[in-house]
Amino acid sequence: MKWSCENGYQPHVLAVDDNLVDRKLVEKLLKNSSCKVTTAENGASALEFLGLLDEHNQHTNFEECSNVIFK
């Protein structure tokens, strides 16, 4: 699937996974779909990238969601 918008819109996706192989696979698939991709190996790294991790959020809990279907 290719993203196409007349104004040149390119989605920027933050892909987070602790498994390097899975992260690389997702990154390649998204780039092939014309997405700009940033990867992170865990939730803390993702929050740091987003600018949401600071001294007030150091006790945040993360849970892995595997094979979840959102409707």
pLDDT tens digit string along 20-61? Answer: 999 999 999 999 988 999 999 998 898 889 888 776 655 555
Q: How many domains does the chain have?
A: 1
Amino acid at 55: E
Give the tokens for residue 36.
């700009």
Residues sharing a CB contact under 8 Å with residue 31, sequence separation 6 or more, in sequence order: 37
Tell whether 6 is covered by a domain: no
Tell whether 3 is covered by a domain: no
pLDDT of residue 44: 85
Tell whether 2 is covered by a domain: no
Tell whether 21 is covered by a domain: yes
Task: Return the H-helix or E-strand segment holding 13.
Answer: strand 12-16
Residues of the domain holding 23: 12-54
pLDDT of residue 68: 54
Region 9-24 average pLDDT: 92
pLDDT of residue 56: 63
When pLDDT is cut at 50, 70 and 90, the band that residue 9 belongs to is confident
